[in-house]
Amino acid sequence: MPECQNCEAFVTDQYVRVFAPDGMGDVRVCPRCTDKLRDGAEVREAHSPRHS
């Protein structure tokens, strides 16, 4: 089962197909991550924690 590399939360296969870099089976950050977020093809620290 795919999971987020940051928070280890479960993510769907469809989410991985859309947001994981080519060749990766897991995403680096997901919507449940409050401390990081996607910024184009990169991942960066959130300026302020997001609420889930």
pLDDT band, residue 12 (cuts 50/70/90) = very high
Whether the per-residue pLDDT at 42 is higher than 60: the answer is yes
Q: pTM for the complete prediction?
A: 0.73
The two structure tokens encoding residue 19: 């947001």
Q: Where are the domains of the chain?
A: 1-39
The two structure tokens encoding residue 8: 């280890």
What DSSP state is assigned to residue 24? -
pLDDT attached to residue 18: 92
Whether the per-residue pLDDT at 15 is higher than 60: the answer is yes
